[in-house]
Amino acid sequence: MTQSANFSFELLASDVGTSARRSRLTTPRGTIELPTFMPVGTLGTVKGLTVEQVASTGAEILLGNTYHLALRPGEETVAQLGGLHKMMGWDKPILTDSGGFQVFSLAQMTKVTEEGAIFKSHIDGSRLELTPERSIAIQEALGSDIAMVFDHVVALPNEYQVIREACERSIRWAGRCQDAATLDSQIQFAIVQGGLDEEMRVWCAEELAKLEFPGYAIGGLSVGEPPAEMYRILDATCPVLPSDRPRYLMGVGKPIDLLEGIRRGVDMFDCVMPTRNGRNALAFTDEGPLRLRNAKHRTDRRPIQEDCPCLACKHSRGYIRHLFAAGEMLGPILLSHHNLTYYQRLMQQSRQAIEEGRFEAYFQAKTAGWN
């Protein structure tokens, strides 16, 4: 399945009543048990946590970002510091996003042509040009294990022609990324685009499958469309992706969306939601989200989640509320660790449920607690 003999993908089990898959992606830097959630370390750090703390949540792979690291500190600096793994002190796999999402998120500061995208830096206004070739060169300098192809992401909803042109361009750019690769130690994942048009998504997936990438992502979702629309696109797209390659749903991160994605055959996820919410005093639990700034938690001696092994759950809800009320930095750190631990446990429980052929029952029980 791979560009290199150093990588392999193995499908271990399929759920009986759903499309959920239990699989394994092996890389030179370690094995990733799938389904998995990747904490986001955009700038070479998962905000507020050491790499040891991140690893203690159960994370087996992190995500970094080409656009942001190219601007600061610059890929040459990262390379001189020994690559992204060495710089961070993280010895497990890393996936780097290509900068394609920034074409969407920084659209007002970006000009897109067939050649690539020209950004005006959000930091100092300086010019950064990203082409498929340049994106791969940066990712190779960073030394990530999985590089995402450079794609053209557009806002939704949008005109059909705009989505079609971006989708076709993404396919052409994927081929250019493939041609630009020079490392055996890095594989590339292609990205399926096509907005909320099922036929376009299927066509894009089929065209990219012809290019024989080692993995496939579904991009351009979770950009404001209703969840039901995202699930509809996953229903259409996942069945036409190669079954012997990992499938990655980009930037999607509500707990319910993770389980709905797994139910449809997705293997990999990433999102800033667990850490961003943690920094803002929101904790994910089996009973739904807890807002720890609320006064009702002031004298609550219970942990956030009774059976949770995270750093936060060694303390009371009342103590964590106090930390936020007092503006202490420990509060965001503890809740970030809790939320990432909660997400990793969701993945571990999902893997076990798939192995035992009971994912649908697990899904129903878990989501009933959140409602």
Q: DSSP for 75-140?
A: HHHHHHTT-HHHHHT--S-EEEE-SHHHHHHTGGGEEE-SS-EEEEPTTT--EEEE-HHHHHHHHH
Residues 167, 202: contact at Cβ < 8 Å? Answer: no
Residues 62, 38: contact at Cβ < 8 Å? Answer: yes
Q: How confident is the model at residue 3, as a pLDDT?
A: 43
Could you give the CA distance from residue 28 to residue 85 in angstroms, rounded to a whole number?
13
Dmax of the chain from CA atoms?
60
Dihedral Cα 161, 167, 172, 178, nearest 10 deg = 170
Q: How confident is the model at residue 2, as a pLDDT?
A: 39
Could you give the CA distance from residue 310 to residue 337 in angstroms, rounded to a whole number?
6
Residue 76 phi/psi, 5° resolution?
A: -65, -40
Q: Tell me the catalytic residues.
A: 97, 270
Could you give the CA distance from residue 131 to residue 123 in angstroms, rounded to a whole number?
20
Q: Residue 157: is the preceding peptide bond cis (ω within 30°)? A: yes
Residues 330, 312: contact at Cβ < 8 Å? Answer: no
Residue 233 phi/psi, 5° resolution?
A: -70, -40
Could you give the CA distance from residue 137 to residue 195 in angstroms, rounded to a whole number?
28
CATH architecture of 35-271: Alpha-Beta Barrel (3.20)
Could you give the CA distance from residue 184 to residue 300 in angstroms, rounded to a whole number?
54
Q: How confident is the model at residue 4, as a pLDDT?
A: 58
The pLDDT tens digits along the chain (371 residues) read 334 578 999 999 999 999 999 999 999 999 999 999 999 999 999 999 999 999 999 999 999 999 999 999 999 999 999 999 999 999 999 999 998 778 777 777 788 999 999 988 888 888 889 999 999 999 999 999 999 999 998 888 889 999 999 999 999 999 999 999 999 999 999 999 999 999 999 999 999 999 999 999 999 998 888 999 999 999 999 999 999 999 999 999 899 999 999 999 999 999 999 999 999 999 999 999 999 999 999 999 999 999 999 999 999 999 999 999 999 999 999 999 999 999 999 999 999 999 999 999 999 999 999 98
Q: Give the neighbor-by-neighbor strand order of the sheet with 127-130.
A: 110-112, 117-120, 127-130
Q: How confident is the model at residue 171, as a pLDDT?
A: 98
Q: What is the SS3 assignment for 27?
A: strand
pTM > 0.75: yes or no: yes
Could you give the CA distance from residue 291 to residue 344 in angstroms, rounded to a whole number?
21
- Give the chain's count of helices (H) and strands (E): 14, 16
How far separated are the first and last CA of the chain, in Å rounded?
40
Parse the chain into domains and list their residue ranges: 35-271
Residues 259, 363: contact at Cβ < 8 Å? Answer: yes
Could you give the CA distance from residue 153 to residue 170 in angstroms, rounded to a whole number?
8
At which residue do the structure tokens 């396919």 appear? 171
Token reading at 323: 């930390």
